[in-house]
Chains A and B, each alone.
Chain A
Amino acid sequence: MHRQLWLASVVALSAVTPAVSETAPAAVAYEEGAVAQSLSGQPGDPESGAKIMTTNALGNCVACHQIAAMPDVPFQGDIAPPLDGVADRYDEAHLRGIVANAKMTFDGTFMPAFYKTTGFVRPGNAYTGKAPEGELAPILTAQQIEDVVAYLLTLKE
């Protein structure tokens, strides 16, 4: 009983406090656009990554990219290159860097930076149109970035 309570409080605590091994957006080290270390310090979950990539309020990657491996997802956009075989073109570190901040790899790209919290012009509070309250959160969390990278690594041709 005591042991369970103790466990529960550890779980609750870890939900609000980032793990020690998590890298904050400002502390991410890009090497020619690539990021070698997991941002969360944990491996990613490709299943969760697929969900994030197809959910409007999260990554919504399919708004711009087509993914043939997701035939059930309607209305995939064509603004950006298809992601089929992307894991053959980039290694894990480059994929992580591109998802976190693609502008470090492609100067001036249309692609938003999903793990960045500063350097914006008139950033808002998500999609409310209003000024943010307090510090800006990145669009995706460190673990969500890892999950997306894990899914992208499955896209081999």
Chain B
Amino acid sequence: MMHRKFTSRLAATALGIALSGAAFAEPVEDTLTIETDDGEITLVTQAPAPAHLEGALKTIYSGWHFREDDTRGMQKDDFDNPGMVFVDRGMDSWNAAQGANGESCAGCHQGPESMAGLRAVMPRVDAKTGSLMIMEDYINGCVTERMGLEAWGVTSNKMKDMLALISMQSRGEVVNVAVDGPAAPFYEKGKEIYYTRYGQLEMSCANCHEDNYGNFIRADHLSQGQVSGFPVYRLKDAGLVSAQQRFVGCVRDTRAETFKAGSDEFKALELYVASRGNGLSVEGVGVRH
């Protein structure tokens, strides 16, 4: 990792260009205080980097800090956040008797607030099975085993509506993804993927989101690639985007053969990337462009 940074700095020096000024454009200074039905809530969108990122990052920033004024503004009021429509759809789905024998989420779990806190520690290793779980795995576990249905598509609208509803129950809680114990091998696997330069463009996650956050690739203001705001309402897609979906998009853009959403590789990557945001607030449903 250090080697990688060293050589890229060296390259820049060899080109006779000082890495200063525009090369370290700052994230926007702003505070995310959201008007909600229950009053105002202020989220942590900037925090000291967790210990496991020593040598890589000093401060972690939500992707919210890298978006334009209008986009940031939309997330400051639930009334203006287009993602809330999907939370409502998730609520309808939660209460619907949609199982093979009329089961609903509410039938077992009561209100969605029973999920409070879960989003902040996901992905995690399931204590009973030892498997790495992303939220989609838990949802599909219920859908197939308890409701007797076919699994929902990992990136289907139904799935993302439910991700949005469950994520909202942890809004404001601080991300605290375990990286040690049973999570350690998944963390290492995710980290390896994060630093691998994929595709014909030979780009790793780190090339853009660690070495160049704050800079621009064409019109794209590069963020740290934090997933604390996910699922997000993405203006470009006029819909919800999950972290798994975004990983597919990013790796595709390196002219690579992507891993599939929900694959072991992207699950490990999500654990690793989520853990890089330990200390930021879960945003429920962020707004990005």
Interface residues of A (CB under 8 A from B): 56, 60, 62-64, 74-79, 81-82, 89, 105-110, 112-113, 120-132, 136, 139
Contact = CB atoms under 8 A, between A and B. Distances in A.
Contact of A81 (B17, B202, B254): B17
B257 A130 contact: yes
B207 interface: yes
Contacts of B51: none
9 contacts: A64-B217, A74-B219, A78-B22, A81-B16, A110-B203, A110-B207, A123-B256, A124-B254, A128-B252
B25 A78 contact: yes
Contacts of B203: 110, 112
Interface of B: 3-4, 7-8, 10-12, 14-17, 22-23, 25, 196-203, 207, 211-212, 215-219, 248, 251-258
B14 A112 contact: no
Given A78-B215, A129-B248, A108 B7 contact: yes
A109 B203 CA distance: 10
A108 B256 contact: no
* Leading 9 A-B pairs by shortest Cβ distance: A108-B7, A106-B11, A129-B252, A75-B219, A81-B17, A129-B258, A124-B257, A109-B11, A112-B201
Contacts of B218: 56, 60, 62-63, 75-77
- Residue among B8, B200, B201 facing the most chain A CB atoms (10 A cut-off): B200
Contact of B200 (A56, A62, A112): A112
Given A64-B217, A108-B10, 15 more contacts: A75-B216, A75-B219, A77-B217, A77-B218, A81-B17, A106-B15, A107-B7, A110-B8, A112-B203, A113-B202, A120-B200, A121-B198, A121-B199, A124-B200, A139-B255
Contacts of A136: 200
A34 B219 CA distance: 31
A124 B248 CA distance: 12
A63 B217 CA distance: 5
Nearest to B212: A79
B215 A77 contact: yes
Contacts of B4: 108
Contacts of B197: 121
A5 B33 CA distance: 73
Contacts of A122: 198-199, 256-258
Nearest to B255: A124
B25 A108 contact: no
Nearest to A139: B200
Contacts of A78: 22-23, 25, 215-216
A113 B8 CA distance: 15
A123 B257 contact: yes
Nearest to A117: B200
A122 B251 CA distance: 10
A82 B245 CA distance: 33
Given A89-B16, A108-B8, A129-B256, A120 B199 contact: yes
A121 B212 contact: no
Contact of A110 (B211, B219, B252): B211
Contact of A124 (B3, B8, B256): B256
B6 to A, nearest CB: 8
A103 to B, nearest CB: 8
Contacts of A125: 257
Given A121-B196, A121-B199, A122-B199, A127 B255 contact: yes
Contacts of B254: 124
